[in-house]
Chains A and B, each alone.
Chain A
Amino acid sequence: METISCRSLRVNFGVTEVLRGINLEVPKGGWTTIVGPNGSGKTTLLRAIAGLQKSQGLIQINGHALGAYSRKEVAKQIAIVPQQPVIPHGMKVLDYVLLGRTSHLGFFETEKKSDIEKAHSALDELDVGFAESRTMGTLSGGEIQRVVVARALTQGSPVLLLDEPTTALDIGHQQEMLEAVDGLRQRRDLTVLATMHDLTLAGQYADSLILLERGEAVASGTPQEVLTEEQVTQHYGASIKVIDDGFGPIVTPVRRKTNLPE
């Protein structure tokens, strides 16, 4: 059974069509990453799947139409890390991460010990446990990004949508975060749908890639199938080289000699 399934998904803002008939299947426990140039519709696609964006076509989560779920049920199924999260500056980091438990708490309930433990373990997993008593406004960009992911992990939903989760991270923390997510995916059988600009990392952590361009899926398949020199050059208008070291394609920018200063 496909955990996430989209059939001819369309989104338009006024007359501009931003997604033009996307078909997508992410099996349970799989990791799919959407790549594509700026403005190609990656964020819009994730928001539509999370029920945050009106769309036409069919979206199914665990075999049920998205519209059949209430807000709270959607939150129990899907956790999303937005590309540009709203940061409440005065809020303590631990309180922020605990917001992830909202859908599990009854109206009169407050967080139980087990909720707090979940928050702590997510913070530790992402290497930001040291900041739990600080306020959000005092964190660095990369620390904020890790805390936001910690909130999504704390939500405990089987589907995880990550919109550019590593853009603010140094290379070590990028790997650490993706490893943490991958570890949880294997242990808890999570389904991950991410977007990423770093094509090398995208290929190393996903089992399948989708290349979007102007709202259409122009290529999809395994990292080796999607990350070819021709396709990346064509769709990104970039000058790159793809090296295969046996663990997945390494996509690296190259600067043509003629452009170099004397």
Chain B
Amino acid sequence: MRPSIQVNDSEKHEGPAKLKIWWLVVAILAAGTVVALGLILGPASLGVREVLVEMLDRLPYIDTDSGLSAREQAIVWEIRLPRVVLGLLVGSMLATAGASYQGVFRNPLADPYLLGVAAGAGFGATVAIVSGLGDGIGTFDAVPMLAFAGALIAVTLTYLVGFSAGRIDPVTSLVLAGVAVASFFTAVQTFVQQRDSETIRQVYFFVLGQLRTAGWDEVVLVSPYVGPCLLILLLLRRRLDVLGVGDEEAGSLGVDVRLVRLTAVLAASLGTAAVVAVSGLIGFVGIIVPHTIRLIFGFSYRVILPLTVLFGGAFLVGADLVARLTLEPAEIPIGVVTAFLGAPFFVIVLRTSRRL
């Protein structure tokens, strides 16, 4: 055979893209660490050992005594744990939705709010707050309900408009429809809000995002959406890799592109709508986490998606810790923290990334 110039021939061949076990271990450890910190740290200082024993105590067949008072036990179980769990759910969902959108739309700037979810949720929440329903209808909290409804309406509109536009390719038309729908809902939201300036502060806090919880209610509210949506997106990870060669070639490789795209977009949007309803508009997670993982661990969605689920949750719980503790007892809006910490961190990764 003729000699050919072989650049980098010494590079060892490592087989197809695969999630390495030790990457998973690192991700799980990271998530475990922030969860533990989230339980231990706070205005009432609890011992590391006590909290861990307390957790063990709740496991089946284990019966010990942590030595925590009833009040301290309540702090762990009713205040800190639900908040940490909510942080995991919201962070995982936003980051995974962002990664999936980036794959489906082949656009690195796609974030979970691309198709109007944020604007719709903002509109719904504003209506709830302005109309005075913010304090709840009966036992329901109206803000998440209307935010969820607004998000779903906005995304549905985006699909209807995007898929009915036949002139340009479906990816572009969907994204453009998202832009139009988002601007529309933002305009209506601003209008509604202007009519009632007393609630601006409340609306503003929704827009900045928060992980304040009343307990397990929020967790119960979002889990039925987040769980299945994450699962569906994880199952699509190989298909998302195939979409990297464009619709036509993916089709010629045997993938039903429309079905994959529709499923992925629906799952990502539904999950995002659910978490936005309880946590407000936490920005940045959906872009920063998947890209950081991409830069460090590689470009295959078979690697990116599982790690994004774990690191997304860990990142948000960590950001929430900072939000809670920095100005204690006041809280910084978590959206501010995600951007403030995420942006410089991302710049560092961009500058130094060498694939593992």
A and B part of one assembly: yes
Taken together as a complex, chains A and B put the C-alpha atoms of A107 and B244 apart, in Å, by 18
Whether B308 is near chain A, meaning CB under 8 Å from some CB there, is no
Taken together as a complex, chains A and B put the C-alpha atoms of A80 and B246 apart, in Å, by 14
- B4 pairs with A52, CB closer than 8 A: no
Shortest CB–CB separation between residue A234 and chain B, in angstroms? 34
Contact pattern, B 271-311, Cβ under 8 Å of A = 1, otherwise 0: 00000000000000000000000100011101000000000
- B245 pairs with A92, CB closer than 8 A: no
Shortest CB–CB separation between residue A120 and chain B, in angstroms? 9
**A103 contact from B8, B245, B253, B300, Cβ within 8 A:** B253
- A95 pairs with B17, CB closer than 8 A: yes
Whether A184 is near chain B, meaning CB under 8 Å from some CB there, is no
Taken together as a complex, chains A and B put the C-alpha atoms of A133 and B11 apart, in Å, by 8
**B242 contact from A82, A87, A102, A134, Cβ within 8 A:** A102
Q: A107: which B residues are within 8 A, CB to CB? A: 235
**A99 contact from B235, B242, B299, Cβ within 8 A:** B242
Stretch of A18-26, A71-79, A203-211 with 4 or more beta carbons under 8 angstroms from chain B: A71-79
Shortest CB–CB separation between residue B107 and chain A, in angstroms? 13
**B249 contact from A85, A95, A108, A135, Cβ within 8 A:** A85
Chain B stretch 231-263: residues in CB contact (< 8 A) with chain A: 235, 238, 241-242, 244-246, 248-249, 251-256
Taken together as a complex, chains A and B put the C-alpha atoms of A82 and B249 apart, in Å, by 8
Taken together as a complex, chains A and B put the C-alpha atoms of A107 and B299 apart, in Å, by 21
Whether B16 is near chain A, meaning CB under 8 Å from some CB there, is yes
Total residue contacts A-B, CB cutoff 8 A: 91
**B253 contact from A75, A87, A88, A90, Cβ within 8 A:** A75
A residues contacting B by CB (< 8 A) are 50-52, 71-72, 74-76, 78-80, 82, 85-88, 90-92, 94-96, 98-100, 102-103, 105, 107-108, 110-111, 116, 127, 130, 132-135, 155, 172
B residues contacting A by CB (< 8 A) are 1-2, 4, 6, 8-9, 11-17, 235, 238, 241-242, 244-246, 248-249, 251-256, 294, 298-300, 302
Majority secondary structure, B binding face: loop
Shortest CB–CB separation between residue A130 and chain B, in angstroms? 5
| Chain A residue nearest to B8 in the complex (CB) | A134
Taken together as a complex, chains A and B put the C-alpha atoms of A155 and B254 apart, in Å, by 10
Taken together as a complex, chains A and B put the C-alpha atoms of A206 and B244 apart, in Å, by 33
Indicate whether A102 sits within 8 Å of B246 (C-beta atoms), given known contacts A91-B299, A134-B11: no
Q: A102: which B residues are within 8 A, CB to CB? A: 238, 242, 253-255
- Give 8 closest A-B pairs by Cβ, nearest first: A103-B254, A75-B254, A90-B299, A86-B246, A88-B244, A72-B254, A102-B253, A130-B6
- B16 pairs with A111, CB closer than 8 A: yes
Shortest CB–CB separation between residue B31 and chain A, in angstroms? 24
Q: A79: which B residues are within 8 A, CB to CB? A: 252
- B253 pairs with A116, CB closer than 8 A: no
